[in-house]
Amino acid sequence: MSNILVKAVLPSEEDTLVSSLLTHITCFQFCSILLAIIGWILCIISTAGVQWRVWHVDNVTGISSGIVWVGIWKVCFRHDATPDRNTYLHCEDFTENYRTLPKEIFIAQDLMALASIVNALAIGFMSFALWNVFKNTKQKKALITFFTIGGILNFTSGLIVLVPLSWNLHSVLAKEEIEFPDSFQLPRIPKDQSVGVAIYVGYGAVAFQLVSGLLTLFQKYLTFNKTHPFDIIQAQAMASKTKAHNCPSCGSSVDLTGLFKVS
């Protein structure tokens, strides 16, 4: 009877590990993975967006609105109305054959794509660690390593995105020209230019990625460097097993880790 009572009151060693792990990792690491996912989505939106630079032009044949959107993959503008009085969005893709385009455009293509991949890997590592917590596996110490790797990758991804964003932002603020191919029929210098929404979205992605990485690293060095939680968890589990025993033949008491005693 006392054995049944001990099992009912005292959690198993695996249940203790899982509950303790959730207590230690959910606060920072769970928020970290959510921020990483948001940052990854914003990074993809910024990468695919065409509004990195907004050009305002006058008296350009074929452009009805006077606005040209310059991205890192293509340039777009609204074409003059057709005979049926409808305008349409016309885009010209950037390829490596166009040597006259600024270097920051092609570098942004490579770095933004790389950052998206690195961020996806970070989410994969962190998701795997979180999934194994709920799966109740025995390799608990490896979970912290996976979270740490994910945090480092998130932080690295944010730094990668920061390079093309800052470079293109500087080009816009400096009013630098772009020598488009002749087939585009676009001027080299606009009447005015401003920062596009894609750059702002990109900086939002940087913020989420950096905070995500810092949360994971902060939790690691704040808590786990002082006293490793797994040492505490295992010590508690061993103490529970040692103290929670009975001897019916000799009539000794059962110590339920300070909860109550059964004679």
213 in any annotated domain: yes
250 in any annotated domain: no
Distance in Å from the first CA to the final CA of the chain: 11
183 in any annotated domain: yes
9 in any annotated domain: no
Place of tokens 């940087």: 206
Contact 71, 104 (CB under 8 A): no
Q: Measuring CA to CA, which residue among 151, 156, 149, 129 is closest to residue 212? A: 151
189 in any annotated domain: yes
5 in any annotated domain: no
Q: Measuring CA to CA, which residue among 6, 43, 35 is closest to residue 210? A: 35
Helix (H, G, I), strand (E, B) or coil at 75: strand
Tens of pLDDT, residues 69-82: 999 999 998 876 65
pLDDT band at 9 (very low <50, low <70, confident <90, very high): very low
Tens of pLDDT, residues 120-158: 999 999 888 877 766 655 566 677 788 889 999 999 999
Number of domains in the chain: 1
168: containing domain: 15-80+87-235
For residue 226, CA distances in Å to 65, 93, 150, 154, 222 come to 62, 54, 21, 24, 7
Contact 116, 50 (CB under 8 A): no
Strand pairing partners for 91? 76
1 in any annotated domain: no
110 in any annotated domain: yes
Backbone angles phi, psi at 180, to 5 degrees: -75, 155
Place of tokens 């603020």: 173
The CATH number of the domain holding residue 159 is: 1.20.140.150
- The 3-class SS string of 181-204 reads CHHHCCCCCCCEEEECHHHHHHHH
Helix (H, G, I), strand (E, B) or coil at 206: helix
Give mean pLDDT, residues 176-194: 90
